[in-house]
Amino acid sequence: TKAPLGVAAVNSTKVYLDKIEPFTLEYSGLKNGDKYPKMTSPFTITCDATYKSDVGTYPITVSGGESNNYFLSSYTAGTLEITKAQQTIDWTQNLQDIQTDGKVELLAKASSGLDISYSLSDNEIAEIVSANGKQYVKGLKNGTATITASQEGNNNYMAAERVSNTVTINVPSGIDGTSASDLRVTAGNYQITVVGAKPSSNIYIFNAAGNLIELKKVTEEKAIIPVTNHGLYIVKINGVTFKVTI
């Protein structure tokens, strides 16, 4: 007569997005030195997971099967465990010569395709700004800062190792000619007055030697910048240059 045979699905693991290897079975009740039962009809092994299923645990079930020497007395399910995948950040961008008020798109990429976050070591030297789904570094004043790119992972990816880059902000010389503009810049009584600049714009004041002596962020329609000496001053606003004399 046929001997009873128990069959169990062997537990398995894989990393997110890796292919699923064939599942294996183990048996209890084999006779006469059999290493596996000779089947006239194969077992059916099923699992709902695919290679792109989210991280988690999925049952592996076994059913069916016929043998001339054994009758199937029990079926035991196993599990497929899908674990988080690693990811890396690629960032080789040169950020060594950004002028004040200039901005450069940040181009770090995560191998997972997830969004990158950026942080600065000095928010007075530069700032991170977002526009139209992109991120930029914007120069504020002369100096060097470290930008760190990070991706903290999600349900399917582990956090990436952070990557740092150095940004250098250079203040342009004020001695480079003047430009026409709808802005109005006047000087007198030891002060320079700017009318019509957009809010949050930066106003740069240079002396006659081209050295930056004052940086003011516009907060209202009329900006007044005190100066201490008579002479020639160069005023730069959003790339537009004026020369005034006090």
How does pLDDT run across 116-158, given as a tens digit for each residue?
999 999 998 999 999 999 999 998 888 899 999 999 999 999 9
Question: Is residue 161 over pLDDT 50?
Answer: yes
Dihedral angle of Cα 152, 149, 108, 142, to the nearest 10 degrees:
160
More confident residue, 81 or 222: 81
More confident residue, 240 or 86: 86
User: Distances from the Cα of 183 to the Cαs of 159, 193, 235, 240, in angstroms?
Assistant: 48, 11, 11, 9
Q: Do the beta carbons of residue 192 and residue 233 sit within 8 Å?
A: yes
The CB-side HSE value for 225 (13 A sphere, CA atoms) comes to 27
Q: Residues 6 or more apart from 52 whose CB is under 8 A from it?
A: 16, 17
Question: Is residue 19 over pLDDT 90?
Answer: yes
What contacts 24+ positions apart, CB below 8 Å, involve 121-129?
121/145, 121/146, 121/147, 121/148, 122/146, 125/167, 125/169, 126/98, 126/167, 126/169, 129/103
- Residue 31: φ, ψ to 5°: -120, 160
| DSSP designation for 174 | S
Q: How confident is the model at residue 70 (pLDDT cuts 50, 70, 90)?
A: very high
Distance CA 63, CA 221 (A): 78
Range picked from 97-106, 147-156, 226-235 for highest mean pLDDT: 147-156
Question: Is residue 243 over pLDDT 80?
Answer: yes
